[in-house]
């Protein structure tokens, strides 16, 4: 087993589970690429935009089921399942790492995977046979603080654990639903979404972490693309686990014209996944 690059993937909206488009197909290719290059992960530590708490909490159930934490989308989504084993033993290891870094963490024996976890995992590892440990996190934490959280988790990448941040590189559902219904999925990129995504990719490629930490005031259209920033913040946890190295964009696409579906890999071996999810 080699060091697994931590990942950030964009799930966009729950509709990815029904309409994979480019991002879903990229995730389908990414799972086998990880297995071939690094070995199959023994567990997945998932940091989702939809598992939010006041202080970090590990959801250490022995078994998980899909949680339908959304409304206003296609009813067929409520029939989809992703019943995966949990990872109670990994929770002990994660708690030890966080406590050693001075980060308080709670533990719950309850489970459930929000759609930010199960929707991409249905493509990444459709067999639902890899144990999953969700790490709920505080959306009030700054990018810098979440990066430090990721740094504390970095040893897991050498232990066969895939650190997976899930959110969306741009996320403004008001724009997606403007006019009373979903825009066409194949709507061309809006200039604002394209500018933000390009800025992020450029800063990531040069490891300009000062700019990335300060994206809220430095990136073009940042507040427009993220009226609230919980969908972007898992990026920083995964990035921290990879260290202050370049962020490698391994996939770039969008849906509904505004929702960026980009994916990034981090760490010393991130470049080995370049092109695997194009």
The full set of domain ranges for the chain reads 7-273
Over residues 172-220, the pLDDT tens digits come to 878 776 655 666 778 888 899 999 999 999 999 999 999 999 999 999 9
Confidence band of 13 (pLDDT split at 50, 70, 90): confident
Mean pLDDT of the chain: 94
pLDDT computed for residue 124 by the predictor:
98
Over residues 126-151, the pLDDT tens digits come to 999 999 999 999 999 999 999 999 99
Confidence band of 258 (pLDDT split at 50, 70, 90): confident
Confidence band of 1 (pLDDT split at 50, 70, 90): low
pLDDT computed for residue 189 by the predictor:
86
The class (CATH top level) of 7-273 is alpha beta
Say what the pTM is.
0.96
Q: Is the pLDDT of residue 163 over 80?
A: yes
Over residues 214-242, the pLDDT tens digits come to 999 999 999 999 999 999 999 999 999 99
Question: DSSP letters along the chain, please?
Answer: -PPPPPEEEE--SGGGGT--HHHHHHHHHHHHHHHHHH---SEEEEEETT-B-SS-EEE--SEE-B-----SS-GGGGG----EEB-HHHHHHHHHHHHHTT---EEES---B-HHHHHHHHHHSTT--S-EEEEEB-TTS-HHHHHHHHHHHGGGGGGTEEEEEEE-SS--HHHHTTTSSPPPTTPPPPHHHHHHHHHHHHHHHTT-HHHHHTHHHHSTTHHHH-SS-TTTTHHHHHHHHH-SS--EEEE--EETTTEE--EEE-STTGGGGTTTT-
Over residues 14-68, the pLDDT tens digits come to 889 999 999 999 999 999 999 999 999 999 999 999 999 999 999 999 999 999 9
pLDDT computed for residue 126 by the predictor:
97
pLDDT computed for residue 151 by the predictor:
98
Confidence band of 275 (pLDDT split at 50, 70, 90): confident
In this structure, are residues 250 and 10 in contact, taking their beta carbons and an 8 Å threshold? Answer: no
pLDDT computed for residue 59 by the predictor:
98
Mean pLDDT calculated for residue range 113-117 = 97
In this structure, are residues 161 and 173 in contact, taking their beta carbons and an 8 Å threshold? Answer: no
pLDDT computed for residue 184 by the predictor:
74
Handedness of CA 183, 186, 192, 193 (dihedral sign): positive
């Amino acid at each position: 087993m080699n060091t697994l690059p931590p990942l950030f993937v964009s799930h966009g909206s729950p509709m990815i589970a029904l309409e994979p488009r480019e991002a879903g197909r990229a995730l389908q290719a990414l799972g086998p690429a990880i297995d071939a290059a690094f070995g199959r992960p023994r567990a997945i530590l998932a940091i989702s935009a939809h598992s939010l708490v006041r202080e970090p909490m590990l959801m250490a159930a022995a078994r998980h089921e899909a949680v339908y934490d959304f409304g206003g989308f296609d009813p067929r989504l409520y029939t989809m399942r992703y019943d995966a084993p949990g990872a109670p033993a990994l929770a002990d290891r994660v708690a030890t790492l966080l406590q050693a870094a001075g980060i308080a963490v709670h533990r719950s024996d309850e489970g459930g995977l929000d759609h930010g976890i199960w929707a991409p995992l249905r493509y990444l590892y459709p067999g639902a046979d890899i144990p999953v440990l969700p790490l709920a996190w505080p959306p009030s934490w700054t990018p810098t603080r979440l990066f430090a959280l990721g740094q504390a988790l970095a040893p897991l990448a050498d232990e066969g654990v895939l650190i997976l941040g899930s959110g969306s590189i741009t996320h403004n559902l008001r724009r997606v639903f403007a006019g009373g219904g979903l825009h066409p999925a194949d709507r061309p990129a809006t200039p604002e979404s394209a500018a933000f995504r390009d800025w992020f990719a450029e800063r990531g490629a040069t490891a300009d972490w000062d700019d990335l930490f300060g994206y809220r005031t430095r990136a073009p259209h940042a507040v427009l693309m993220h009226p609230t920033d919980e969908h972007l913040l898992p990026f920083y946890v995964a990035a921290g686990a990879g260290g202050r190295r370049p962020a490698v964009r391994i996939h770039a696409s969008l849906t509904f014209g505004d929702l960026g579906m980009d994916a990034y890999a981090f760490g010393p071996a991130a470049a080995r996944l370049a092109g695997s999810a194009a």
